[in-house]
Amino acid sequence: MAGHAHHDPDLKTADPELFDLIEREDARQRDSIRLIASENYASRAVLEATGTSLTNKYAEGYPGRRYYEGMDFVDPIERLAIKRAKQLFGADHANVQPYSGSPANLAALLALCDPGDTIMGMSLPSGGHLTHGWKVSATGIYYKAVQYGVRKSDRRLDLDQVRALALEHRPKLIWVGHSAYPRTVDFAAFAEIAKESGAYLAADIAHIAGLVAGGVHPSPVPHADVVTTTTHKTLRGPRGGLILCRKKHRKAINKAVFPGLQGGPHNHSTAAKAVAFHEAMQPAFKTYAQQVVTNAKALAEQLLARGITLVTGGTDNHLMLLDLTNRGLGGRHAARVLNDCGVELNANSIPFDPRTPFDPSGLRVGVPSITSRGLLAEHMAVVAGFIDEGLKGAASVDTDGYTAEADFVAPLRARVQEFIGAFPAPGL
Ligand code: DSN
């Protein structure tokens, strides 16, 4: 005799309100040109792995040394994820448990530094990340953070400044990495500076992990003590984090992630990370990574041809920063108008920005998502045209009085939707 009748309806039946919101988000992602540089479309296989029974299981500890029973399948899953991450990036060790990029970065600091130590990182307004020591982040509160930036003349990383600051402040650890920098990073040069100043080198490749995995951006793995990343940006995996490190830091990194910072790992994410690492080892992913860089260059050219200013004049990676100063537009207003037109991107500070971080002078544009939908270089003229039209629309209306009812919005949105609708969105 079975126990209680087990009422287990599907989501649509159990929670129609929530189901409807998710359906509408699916449609929004299908119908817009998604240009947020840190986003992507995960594959159906990745999404499937995240929605499994693995979410039911606690697994504090590491494979073979857990604090819970029932590890028959969770251990092999985590071992597989670790093996694939090491193989994909050619690393000595991988910790696949970080919940996301910020916890991964905090774990790297916990492993290699003591509270109050001096650390160095690229400043947020120059294109760095909060967790590289920005003042409102735990990494800027618990550590003495020295921040480097970009050169005024060309808005590129100033390695002379990095070296001078490192020799002056003798940080325990130097971060290299960015979330809004459109150029290739010279990890070997950073490693030289770290060595000269007696610092550990930590590389945060969250934005470019897929480019590194696909061989179109140099890898920091041979140069850095620790490499952190998210798994959901150019790498196209589930939301999550990953730490790679040299053998000698393995124990410290593992201890920092658990029990230092986190409790039970999210096994459903671990499994989905394993799927993504497997996908990233296929020849098709190399083609994808190459296409990302090709598309970014093509889009940059098309934007420049329309008189749009790009910080550093172009891009080497998956993203570009538009400087709206000469269009007399604020980033926030421009981003809002473009979003209403079906072109999703984010307002972003530009180096030496005269405006505030909440309403900065720039827009950040990335091509990982549209490349996942199969757009090629030849399509970038259309995308640039939509951006240009949206910006002209934004400039034609009063910022305060603007609503999505403005005349130009609906027709442009319809054309955007028709264009992007021809490219199937993975996973949806
Ligand atoms: N939020 C990410 C980005 O958009 O770049 C960085 O953490």
Q: Are strands 309-310 and 319-323 parallel, antiparallel or unpaired?
A: antiparallel
Tokens of 184: 């290739």
Q: Is the CB of 38 under 6 A from ligand 1?
A: yes
- What separation in angstroms does the CA of 143 have from each of 134, 249, 261, 279? 10, 20, 16, 37
pLDDT in tens, 311-336: 999 999 999 999 999 998 999 999 99
Q: How far is CA 226 from the centre of its chain?
A: 18
Q: Which residue blocks in 157-248 are alpha helix, DSSP H?
A: 159-169, 187-197, 209-213
Question: In the β-sheet with 241-245, what is the strand arrangement from edge to edge?
Answer: 93-95, 241-245, 226-230, 200-204, 173-177, 118-122, 144-148
Cα angle 368-369-375, degrees, rounded to a multiple of 5? 90
- Domain 30-40+288-420: homologous superfamily in CATH: Aspartate Aminotransferase, domain 1 (3.90.1150.10)
Mark whether 58 is an active-site residue: yes
Q: What is the mean pLDDT of residues 19-31?
A: 98
What mean pLDDT, rounded, does the chain reach?
97
pTM: 0.97
Instruction: State which fold the 58-280 domain adopts.
Output: Aspartate Aminotransferase; domain 2 (3.40.640)
- Which residue, judged by its Cα, is nearest atom 1 of ligand 1? 38
- Which residue, judged by its Cα, is nearest atom 2 of ligand 1? 38
Q: Residue 2: pLDDT above 60? A: no
Report domain extents, the chain: 30-40+288-420, 58-280
Q: What is the mean pLDDT of residues 386-401?
A: 96
Q: Ligand 1: which of 102, 131, 204, 207 to mutate, judged by most atoms within 8 Å of the beta carbon?
A: 207
Q: Residue 5: pLDDT above 90? A: no
Percent of the chain with pLDDT over 90: 98
SS3 236: coil
At 6, is the pLDDT very low, low, confident or very high (cuts 50, 70, 90)? confident
Q: What is the pLDDT of residue 102?
A: 98
Q: Which residue blocks in 221-314 are alpha helix, DSSP H?
A: 250-255, 267-280, 283-305
pLDDT in tens, 182-220: 999 999 999 999 999 999 999 999 999 999 999 999 999
CA 208 / ligand 1 centre spacing (Å) = 12
Q: Helices (H), strands (E): how many in the chain? A: 16, 15
Contact yes or no for 157/150 (Cβ under 8 A): yes
Q: What is the mean pLDDT of residues 401-414?
A: 97
- Which residue, judged by its Cα, is nearest atom 5 of ligand 1? 179
Q: Residue 409: pLDDT above 80? A: yes
Q: Residue 3: pLDDT above 90? A: no
SS3 250: helix
At 4, is the pLDDT very low, low, confident or very high (cuts 50, 70, 90)? low
Mark whether 192 is an active-site residue: no
DSSP letter at 23 equals: H
Percent of the chain with pLDDT over 70: 99
Q: What is the mean pLDDT of residues 229-258?
A: 98
Q: Ligand 1: which of 40, 129, 234, 349 to mutate, judged by most atoms within 8 Å of the beta carbon?
A: 129
Q: Is the CB of 228 under 6 A from ligand 1?
A: no
Q: What is the pLDDT of residue 68?
A: 96
Mark whether 239 is an active-site residue: yes
Q: Residue 283: pLDDT above 80? A: yes
CA 36 / ligand 1 centre spacing (Å) = 9
- What separation in angstroms does the CA of 194 have from each of 176, 184, 426? 10, 18, 41
